[in-house]
Amino acid sequence: MSIQWYPGHMAKAKRQVSEQLNKVDIVIELADARIPFSSRNPMLEEMVGNKPRLIALTKSDMADAAVTDQWIQAFQQAGFEAAAIHALKNKGAKPIVDKAKQLTAPMFEKMARKGIRKRAIRAMVVGIPNVGKSTVINRLVGRKSAKTGDTPGVTKAQQWLKVGNDMELLDTPGILWPKFDPPVIGYRLAATGAIKDEILDAEEVALFTLNVLKERYPKALKERYRLDDARVEGGMELFDEIGRKRGCLQAGGYIDYEKAADIILSDLRTQKFGRVTLETPQDMEDILQETT
């Protein structure tokens, strides 16, 4: 499956982000803790350049905590500051401000030596659609300033928002990139809902999801669908078994794969399998080695 989706408003947003970068002190890049590598826009490397950057892993309450710790360590080893946040319970919002202060301290010290009066940190918040950007911003600001929703592409325009006296945030629309390569990145984005469902082959995405769960979270998979050990074979056999278990049958006893796929993806996105992470730092290393 090759996923290509680059709506006009995203191309416009990319231009806007590039134009506004010289107005900010730091970039806060949000990534989904369930897919920390696949949910990072590779175009940001060129766009952001040497600007200080903080990687904030959103939806950490939905991700495997042990794997999230691995990701934070991996990002720090790569030279990035990183933090896991749980915006809905207001966990992790303060560390974002604290780390932003830490990263911009050298700049403000330089300004002070020149006699320039200190001001609030100007930060740009960037991330792909449906990464939880608006929710994080609302927690930081302390009021409902940014629109939130489960549908990718809710935020369409840029706006400045105040975080107390310490920071000003520039919200930006979610930006995807023209083509996901290798295809596994597209599968991961699709499984977590970063791409609109109507433009995908849900059955392929569900099959991918099942194979990941079978390999890494077999107990959760078996418990959710009450599968016998002999039934967790993977591939279409597993897909068929879940379809039968969930009553996804058409006339003649054939499996309704579309209905079964919807159930599987909904179960993943609503945490019916518990806390699940679809990729590890080793997965990232494997992709980077293949593409270099």
**Average pLDDT taken over every residue of the chain:** 84
Domain regions of the chain by residue span: 8-171, 201-282
CB-based contact 282:228 (threshold 8 Å): no
Q: Could you report the per-residue pLDDT of 9-57, keeping only the tens digit for each?
A: 566 667 777 788 888 999 999 999 999 999 998 888 878 888 899 999 9
As a whole number, mean pLDDT of residues 58-71 equals 96
The whole-angstrom separation of Cα 115 and Cα 102 is 20
> Which residues of the chain form beta strands (DSSP E)?
26-32, 53-58, 81-84, 121-126, 159-163, 167-171
pLDDT of residue 253: 86
As a whole number, mean pLDDT of residues 253-262 equals 94
Proportion of the chain above pLDDT 90, given as a percent: 53
Answer yes or no: CATH 3.40.50.300 is held by domain 8-171: yes
The whole-angstrom separation of Cα 239 and Cα 181 is 26
Phi, psi (rounded to 5 degrees) for 112? -65, -40
Q: Could you report the per-residue pLDDT of 150-169, keeping only the tens digit for each?
A: 444 444 456 688 888 889 99
**Residue 276 confidence class, pLDDT cut points 50, 70, 90:** very high
The answer to whether residue 248 scores a pLDDT higher than 80 is: yes
CATH of domain 201-282: 1.10.1580.10
Give the residue ranges of the annotated binding site for GTP: 130-135, 174
Instruction: Determine how β-strand 121-126 pairs with β-strand 26-32.
Output: parallel
The answer to whether residue 290 scores a pLDDT higher than 60 is: yes
Domains 8-171 and 201-282 share a fold: no
The answer to whether residue 92 scores a pLDDT higher than 70 is: no
Give the residue ranges of the annotated binding site: 130-135, 174
**Which residue, among 25, 38, 42, 247, has the nearest Cα to 130 in the 3D structure?**
38
